[in-house]
Amino acid sequence: MNARGRLVLAGTAAAALLGGALLAGHGMDAALLRPRFGLAALPPGPGHPFGTDALGRDLLARSLRGLETSLLVGLLAAAASTLIALLLAGLAMLGRAADAAVGLAVETCIGLPHLVLMILVAFALGGGVGAVVAAVALTHWPVLTRILRAEFRAVLAADYVRHARRFGRGRWFILRRHLLPHALPQLAVGFLLMLPHAILHEAALTFVGFGIAPARPSIGGLLAESLGSLSAGWWWLGVLPGALLLVAVLCLDGLAQGLRAWLSPRAAEA
């Protein structure tokens, strides 16, 4: 299968999974999310494919609601981080001093441990969805910024840009007409590659207690809740929500990898 076929397959799988999760999460009966102590700790079965938790709540319904939260946080964080990378890469083109400052910021942020930095940001902002989005967004821009800087430098060194300058075109014209259109494929791929990382890091922050509040279902929260139940043999409380998160991340990563292969010159010749 060529790159275009892989892209279509990965995109279809990702769209089906994400769309199905959103629709199923909204379409499920709200009673499934309420405690029912007579159905507590049921293993996976026909009536409850993911089983129930210690309070009798349907685990599939909670997992789908949690995946919806994770996707929302991941989309917002990846979009914000992509915008930060674009702004910094554009700022680096304003001169040597600006380029050196952006380069220093990129190298400094790359050298810091992501999880520790995210915990510090989320803790400083008091936790919650907004804090998690800010924590993930403020730690995932360096790699894309470095890529965009390299792309912008290559474009600025091209003959058509030099000719545009000779005809009196200013920086904003070159940025709008030459740099941004050239960067759109990298932005799309970078956004999609950041999205799975953002979702996983949201789950990690919530798992360690610095993310989304327990009152709102999230995959990280479900995994944290399952720790106290694994010793009782209730394996499904941690395994099945984690597997759902893994499938979602793999689909999104496959979509990003397929898009990157499709946009590469070698794939275009295939």
Quick check: 71 and 249 in contact, CB under 8 A? no
- pLDDT tens for each residue of 117-171: 899 999 898 888 899 999 999 998 999 999 898 888 888 777 777 777 777 776 7
Q: In total, how many domains does the chain have? A: 1
Could you write out the three-class secondary structure of 24-44?
HHHHCCHHHHCCCHHHCCCCC
pLDDT in tens, 33-84: 888 888 888 899 888 899 888 888 889 888 988 888 888 898 999 999 999 9
CATH number for the domain spanning 131: value is 1.10.3720.10
Domain that holds residue 129: 3-269
